[in-house]
Copies of this chain bind each other. A is one copy, B any other.
């Protein structure tokens, strides 16, 4: 009996992700600064928020996109470390009492619950700063122009026009009616911008053509949107133990989600449509993009 292809992709990506994590985690750990002052736990908090617990999905995406262009692993691991540092910082700040006020993340106490709010704010700041320090270093890529492109691209994705802009719209959307268009803009900024950086980082590192970068960037944005729709579906249908945070939280907080706007069934068809659109951007790459295709299928079918 043959396995359903989606289930097969899911199992393959899970295995690949877990294999990747064993390679990536020591590299990421090596990027973190050493604690210089014996009495403070800044670096411990930065490490707590970054290493262990996460799936390293974004760095894995960087690796897959980098392999399409023959980029050496050290380069893609370093760019992956930068994007993971930004992702981790965004979770630390987003979990703060003034924002989402979450006490559980990846099945563990959130950073501010474990280290206190002040340390969590500073650890987040330190991680964001670290991301740019990593990218600026010559080991990331021999070409100065390429490193600068990565930096400009990450800053744009993470800043006021990207992820932070999305967080801000998210804040504004609490407890009021949000339309489908706004929810899409929000998801593409809050989640899609960083995915878009991850998918195009390989193209930047591999000095691919502008057209190829653009296609991968749009693929990442669609994948981020798909990721957010799945998040909203899991918030309703998910198993708290599996997703590692409290289910139903967004709905309780009066946050507009794709499910609250569209209803569960329509949210699921919007997910399918978004996945098809994402995969469409990969056509020019033929089978070179198979690992990216598997990731988007994995995201669409994830249960946590």
Contact = CB atoms under 8 A, between A and B. Distances in A.
Interface in A158-214: 158-161, 164-165, 167-169, 171-172, 185
A12 to B, nearest CB: 35
Contacts of A132: 132, 151, 155
B37 A126 contact: no
A144 B129 CA distance: 20
Given A125-B128, A133-B155, A148-B136, A160 B43 contact: yes
Nearest to A186: B37
A75 interface: no
Contacts of A119: 168, 171
A171 B129 contact: no
14 contacts: A36-B161, A37-B185, A98-B121, A119-B171, A122-B164, A126-B159, A126-B160, A129-B158, A129-B160, A130-B155, A132-B132, A133-B156, A133-B159, A136-B151
Contacts of A245: none
A99 B118 CA distance: 5
Interface residues of A, number: 49
Count chain B CB atoms within 10 A of each CB in A159, A165, A168 and give the residue with the most.
A168
Contacts of A164: 42, 122, 125-126, 129
A33 interface: yes
A33 B169 contact: no
A216 interface: no
Nearest to A161: B33
